[in-house]
Amino acid sequence: MDNQAALVLRPQLPVPRTPADQNPATVYLARLAPQSRRTQAGALATISELLAGAPHDPLTLPWHLLGYQHTQAVRAALAARYAPASTNTMLAALRGVLKEAWRLGLMDGNYCLSER
């Protein structure tokens, strides 16, 4: 992945910790079963590292700032590095967090992570 996504989000980092009930990553993970929660938390950590350009806590990443260009850059980077099943698992985590950000009123529905 070129560093476009990291360069776009880096100026907004770090973000103050939001209350757990308003954090899209926390809300997403809370609705999962314990085993899925561990898997998807790891997926979000991988994605947040891609987006931030360095290891980054997914609970402080400004998920609501992601746009089409970010999601597509993440998709391409994951597809280049991981097997299809792992990529799909990680993209499911990303979709889940973006959906929660939308449900929490933090973003409109204009983000796009198209399904293949």
Cα atoms in the 13 Å half-sphere on the side-chain side of 88: 5
Give me the percent of the chain exceeding a pLDDT of 90: 54
Q: How far apart are CA 82 and CA 40, in angstroms?
A: 15
Report if residue 86 sits inside a domain: yes
Please report whether residue 39 resides in a domain.
yes
Any domain includes 112 = no
Mean pLDDT of the chain: 83
Question: Would you place residue 2 in the very low, low, confident or very high pLDDT band (cuts 50, 70, 90)?
Answer: very low
Range of the domain at 94: 4-9+20-53+62-103
Per the structure block, which two tokens stand in for 1? 């992945």
Question: Rounded to an integer, what distance in angstroms lies between the CA atom of residue 48 and that of residue 61?
Answer: 7
User: Residues with Cβ < 8 Å from 25, sequence gap 6 or more?
Assistant: 44, 58, 59, 61, 63, 97, 100
Within a domain: 42: yes
Contacts of 58 (CB under 8 A, 6+ apart): 25, 41, 44, 45, 47, 48
Tally of domains within the chain? 1
Where residue 33 sits, what CATH number does that domain have?
1.10.150
Question: Which pLDDT band holds residue 112 (cuts at 50, 70, 90)?
Answer: low
Residue pLDDT, tens place only, 42-95? 999 999 999 988 888 999 888 988 888 889 999 999 999 999 999 999 999 999
